[in-house]
């Protein structure tokens, strides 16, 4: 997969349409994040949210659209956590990632948004932005023995 191209005009109507299409696709999946290359659009846009109770603080994070996102690692200490991906259905793996990042991106109004994220929130952002560079989470794993199907990892008693 190639590296996705920057979006020249974040406020363009077709960019908003793409974002709305991606939100539909993410909700149908269902998933908590999606990058444009996953719907075969090689542009630098991701969408995500963090469900309440999923992150350390439990507050979640509202649906967010990041256009041309840039990540700065604020604390390089790695923490390992489980990840799945709509591009690898039914699979899950343990992925080490920095736990404190800053994000800078454009929104659909063409305004620059900057904020910090930690823990699970930081993990989701890094996972989605990796898609823009053709990176899927197994490429970040240091222990591939933890990569498997959800059923195998949780047992068959559901």
- Measured CA to CA, the distance from residue 81 to residue 156 in angstroms comes to 22
SS3 53: coil
Stretch in the footprint of Ni ion (CB under 5 A) among 12-20, 50-58, 78-86, 109-117 = 78-86
Binding mask 81-100 for Ni ion (x = CB under 5 A): ----x---------------
Name which of 89 and 110 has its Cβ closer to Ni ion.
Answer: 89
* DSSP run (H or E) holding 101: strand 88-106
Please, what is the end-to-end C-alpha distance for the chain in angstroms?
A: 35
46 binds Ni ion (CB under 5 A): no
CB of 95 within 8 A of CB of 79?
no
18 binds Ni ion (CB under 5 A): no
Name which of 4 and 85 has its Cβ closer to Ni ion.
Answer: 85
129 binds Ni ion (CB under 5 A): no
Q: Minimum distance from CB of 75 to Ni ion (Å)?
A: 23
> How many beta carbons lie within 10 A of that of residue 70, not counting itself?
12
26 binds Ni ion (CB under 5 A): no
124 binds Ni ion (CB under 5 A): no
Residues 6+ apart with CB under 8 A from 30: none
Catalytic sites, residue numbers: 128
Residues that bind Ni ion (CB under 5 A): 85
């Amino acid at each position: 997969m190639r590296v996705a191209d920057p979006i020249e005009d974040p406020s363009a109507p077709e960019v908003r349409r793409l974002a709305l299409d991606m939100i539909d696709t993410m909700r149908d999946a269902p998933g908590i994040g999606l990058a444009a290359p996953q719907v075969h659009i090689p542009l630098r846009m991701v969408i995500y949210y963090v469900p309440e109770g999923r992150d350390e603080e439990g507050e979640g994070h509202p649906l967010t659209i990041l256009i041309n996102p840039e990540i700065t690692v604020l604390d390089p200490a790695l923490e390992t956590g489980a990840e799945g991906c709509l591009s690898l259905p039914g699979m899950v793996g343990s992925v080490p990632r920095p736990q404190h990042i800053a994000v800078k991106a454009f929104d659909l109004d063409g305004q620059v948004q900057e904020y910090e994220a930690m823990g699970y929130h930081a993990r989701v952002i890094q996972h989605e932005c990796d898609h823009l560079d053709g990176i899927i989470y197994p490429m970040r794993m240091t222990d591939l023995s933890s990569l498997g199907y959800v059923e195998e990892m949780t047992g068959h008693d559901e």
